[in-house]
A and B are shown apart, each in its own frame.
Chain A
Amino acid sequence: MAAIVRISSVCHRGVKPLFYRSSLLSRTLVAQQKDQDCPYPLTARIHGSSSLYAGSVSKAASLHWTGERVVSVLLLALGPAAYYFPGPAVDYSLAAALTLHGHWGIGQVLTDYVHGEPKIKMVNAGLFLLSTVTFAGLCYFNYNDVGICKAVALLWSK
């Protein structure tokens, strides 16, 4: 992650425009971050896929990345929400956000350490099963029991 472009330092428009302007030519400096700034700058042009390519490059990976950050921020917001507004709305939102954040997080861990096509498929299937059961269990707990917010409050009042 640290090796990724320090775009904001060079392209004064910042990082965000690059996500949204797909068909724009922009010159960026791809630099490696060391103690001092970039000794080996490479000039690169990032083209929108439609302007250059006969086929198109899937945006699945970058959308996944953005989705991960969105869920992270959402989960951050749910913290104080759970403290100040406990109730079923926050309970179910927490169940969803926690499960999804955990699912994607463990997915990254598996991607890092598991290699070989069949093994990757197997562990991902196992993870999917685990996440499904986790979400089901949390929803069941919210519905039939005290709910996540109350559970934490009770646990801490010990």
Chain B
Amino acid sequence: MALLLRTFTRQGTCLFRPQFGILCRHAVPMGTTANEEMNRFWAKNNKLNRPMSPHLTIYKWSMPMMMSITHRGTGVGLSGGISAFALLALVLPGNYPYYLDLIHSLSVGPALLSLAKFGIAFPVSYHTLNGIRHLFWDSGKGFKIPEVYRSGYVVIVLSILTSIAAIAYM
């Protein structure tokens, strides 16, 4: 939506004279998209070797910020894990039960086993639940700041609970 609007304004189109049936353009159209402008920004600043202003190191971290980057982190981690699994499936000889038995025979204690299961279950449940939260935002709901924090806490608590439930009962 915003891209559409900015594309029009950048083209120098008059949006506020509906009595003219035709499109009126300025004498000098500025035909750049947001993407082009972004690329120009980075090209210019890299060429001039400008240092980047501190941002993550100085801005006060908030719960929504942390949840957002965790969503990204779990997503990248899970994706990497799936890709690694697929690669191993293609490359390794022997089948899955064979390797599972191999891991079994290492006889890790129950504590470490639960920890490993939590290490898999938590990213899945957090990313899934926060993903649902994202889908709510995409439908336009829940943007008020108290709502953002409330839904955030719900996601965190439910993630931990479902992960523990997955370990304990399955």
Q: B83, A72: Cβ atoms under 8 Å?
A: no
Instruction: List, in ascending order, chain B residues with CB within 8 A of A102's CB.
Output: 75, 78-79, 82-83
Q: A105, B79: Cβ atoms under 8 Å?
A: yes
Q: Which residues between 136 and 157 of chain B lie within 8 Å of chain A, taking CB atoms?
A: 137-141, 143-145, 148
Q: A8, B86: Cβ atoms under 8 Å?
A: no
The smallest C-beta distance from A30 to any residue of chain B, in angstroms, reads 7
- A116's partner among B46, B86, B96 (CB-CB below 8 A) is B46
Q: A61, B3: Cβ atoms under 8 Å?
A: yes
Q: B137, A156: Cβ atoms under 8 Å?
A: no
Give the interface size class of chain B: 35 or more
Instruction: List, in ascending order, chain A residues with CB within 8 A of B95's CB.
Output: 144-146
- Per the CB 8 Å criterion, the residue count for chain A at the interface is 57
The smallest C-beta distance from B116 to any residue of chain A, in angstroms, reads 9
Q: B13, A52: Cβ atoms under 8 Å?
A: yes
Q: A69-B138, A137-B89 are in contact. Are A106 and B76 (CB under 8 A)?
A: yes
- B170's partner among A105, A138, A145, A156 (CB-CB below 8 A) is A156
Instruction: List, in ascending order, chain A residues with CB within 8 A of B89's CB.
Output: 137-138, 140-141, 145
The answer to whether the Cβ of B100 comes within 8 Å of any Cβ in the partner chain is yes
Instruction: List, in ascending order, chain B residues with CB within 8 A of A72's CB.
Output: 131, 135
- A44's partner among B3, B5, B137, B138 (CB-CB below 8 A) is B5
Q: A79-B128, A105-B75, A156-B117 are in contact. Are A137 and B140 (CB under 8 A)?
A: no
The smallest C-beta distance from A133 to any residue of chain B, in angstroms, reads 6
Q: A30-B2, A146-B96, A158-B104 are in contact. Are A134 and B86 (CB under 8 A)?
A: yes
The smallest C-beta distance from B114 to any residue of chain A, in angstroms, reads 10
Q: B90, A133: Cβ atoms under 8 Å?
A: yes
28 intermolecular pairs with C-beta atoms under 8 Å apart: A2-B148, A8-B140, A9-B140, A18-B1, A35-B145, A44-B15, A46-B4, A47-B8, A52-B8, A53-B23, A76-B131, A98-B82, A102-B83, A105-B79, A115-B39, A133-B86, A134-B82, A135-B86, A136-B86, A137-B83, A140-B86, A140-B89, A141-B86, A145-B89, A146-B95, A154-B96, A156-B166, A158-B103
